[in-house]
Amino acid sequence: MRGLREGLLCLLLALAQRAGADELVQLHVCESGDPAFLGTYIKGTGTMDGAPVYTNGNDMSFFRNKGFWYLGNLEPWPPETHYRCVEPEGCNPGLEAPPTSAQGAWSANKRFGKEPVPSILLQPCAASDEL
């Protein structure tokens, strides 16, 4: 009986560690028509629309509004939306993390966005990608 309990405890600890490892804490933009959007985006403590905000070193942020994901500047009010992912399929509507470029169809806002749209990845950029 003791061996079974120890085995279950080890399994529960492994599952808890795995759940924590799967939580998205950063995203990477390796290419963009606007260099302000390049770099690593870190999950902050603030939220918008009940989801975490991910911000880079240039104060550009991934944020959710009305269930869909946007990338822009949260400093002015209303926020400047430069890029958006608003399709029901692939754009993670209502989910806790924004989609990567492979998952969702990101598009540029005609007023603020610059082509090409950012290349959003889960893996860090190669050194030459961020230059």
23-71 residue pLDDT tens: 899 999 999 999 999 999 999 999 999 999 999 999 999 999 999 999 9
Nearest to 60 by CA among 42, 73, 41: 73
2-11 residue pLDDT tens: 554 444 333 3
- Give a yes or no: residue 14 inside a domain: no
CB atoms within 10 A of CB 41: 23
- Give a yes or no: residue 19 inside a domain: no
Report the domain count for the chain: 1
- Give a yes or no: residue 100 inside a domain: yes
- Give a yes or no: residue 102 inside a domain: yes
pTM value?
Answer: 0.79
Instruction: Give residue 94's region: left, alpha or beta (phi > 0; psi -120 to 50).
Output: left
- Give a yes or no: residue 52 inside a domain: yes
Residue 58: give the domain boundaries: 24-130
Half-sphere exposure of 97 (CA within 13 A, CB side): 17
